[in-house]
Amino acid sequence: MPIGSDAPLQIELALISGGQVIVIPSHEYFRSLQVELVAGGSWTGTLELFDPQGDFLENIVILAGTDRRLRVKFGRGEQYPEENLSLEGNITTYRPLFEPNGITLTVEVVSVGVVSAMVRRVPRSFAEGRLLSDVVTELAALNDWATSDALGRPTIEPTPVPTGEPFTSTGESDLSFIQRVLVPQATNAAGQGNYLFYFDEANAIHFHTPDFLQSVEHTFVYARDMAGDVISFSPADVSLFGVLMGGGNTIFTGLSSLSGASAQAKSTTESGVENEGFPVVSDGSSRVDYGSDVHSYVNIDTRDPLELKRLAQSRFDKFREYAFKADLEIHGSHRVRVLDFVNIRYLKANPLPGSNPEHYLSGRFRVYKIRHEITGDWRTTYETLRGGFEAQGLTPVQATQTISPTVASSSGGSVSASVDTSGAGG
């Protein structure tokens, strides 16, 4: 099934209290839903319901007392299991708004286990020689947190180096203790840090580096007329800064005192600085020509073509390291998960003959936050990060199922949008 197909959206709601499950008919009460899943925290959700009778919804929430959970399922039905998301969270707040024709109830939820773990504050001591991953596993057992994801994969990455000294908590919550003390110290077998600690959609905790669970890569092709599955693609301004200062397709020019003329070197996003600086007659000027494949012209003070080559390569490498963010919004889907990669192919409106048809900001981005919004239709936004223009991390697993919706191009033709998705991955 293509992402964004016409398969009807199905929503199921239930309130859980003391083992009792109270079904809330979505067709009668549902108004909107926003869910955020993020690497480095817990998932949260906001649900808006409307009760024309003015007593059913508020009464069941109040009667549930403090032991109240909300189960939300939404997706494309049993025929498309990879497009369904099931969440169960603790209700943290509810706000009734009394209106002439009924009551609007706004309910906020957070992953199961987070609220109790934040409230519970127990001083804990750990002797030297412990592995941090073992400490996290022990705390998970004490808090009844799951340590494997929906696919059955362990979500705690081993830390093989024992601690050299004892450490204690200060009576803070276990969540705060893990984030404040354990995450900064954790390193894996390869000596890499950058551990993340968060709750996934199945309420399992994750304590690992970004590449511990091999990610799936999903490809989206975006034509400028906004047809197809992609709604919008919005890179941050810092991406332009990096490219326009010499990290993209750039002409570097500099005065060569040895040759008595200007020298010039050229870089491309694909192959870097291609050649030694070679003599040219005209000076380079600071200008940007988006009509060709040159993103910027950069003047460098240099003594000879070889030095220009070295300085150009240095600047090119520096600015390609700049990380920048981009948001990708699509018609609702659950196939992409936190820490997966999305390969975004942004097509030019009118590429010149023989030029690259893709915009230079196209590329491979890693998803760090996912936001689902349902207000009539279902839209999903991926907040992504691209660490410069080099290939990042480990080679991801290519999804096994290929879906090819057709995206209309601005010229009236069509472009095949190859969307590689399998629903597997971390």
**Could you please report the per-residue DSSP string of 196-258?**
EEEE-TTSBEEEE-TTSSPPEEEEEEE-TT--SSEEEEEE-HHHHHHIIIIISSEEEEEEETT
- Give the torsion sign (CA, 372, 424, 210, 248): negative
pTM recorded for the entire structure: 0.75
The token duo for 380 is 């999903």
Residue identified by tokens 């998970």 is: 140
The token duo for 340 is 């997966």
Q: Report in angstroms the alpha-carbon separations of 323 from 209, 237, 241, 326, 388.
A: 18, 11, 11, 10, 5
Tens of pLDDT along the chain (426 residues) come to 445 556 788 999 999 888 889 999 999 999 999 999 999 889 999 999 999 887 788 778 777 676 788 999 999 888 888 888 999 999 888 888 988 888 999 999 999 888 878 888 888 888 999 999 999 999 999 999 999 998 889 999 999 999 888 888 888 899 989 998 899 989 999 998 889 999 999 899 999 999 999 888 888 887 665 556 788 888 876 666 666 677 777 877 776 555 556 777 888 776 778 765 544 433 334 444 444 567 777 877 777 778 888 888 887 777 766 677 889 998 888 888 899 999 888 888 788 888 778 877 788 899 999 999 999 889 999 999 886 554 433 334 433 222 223 333 323 332 223 333 333 332
363 sits in which H/E element: strand 363-375
Instruction: Count other Cβ atoms within 10 Å, centred on residue 286.
Output: 10
Cβ density class 218-238: b for 16+ within 10 Å, e for less:
bbbbbbbeebbbbeebebeee
pLDDT of residue 370: 96
Contact 166, 128 (CB under 8 A): yes
49 sits in which H/E element: strand 44-51
Contact 357, 341 (CB under 8 A): no
pLDDT of residue 300: 78
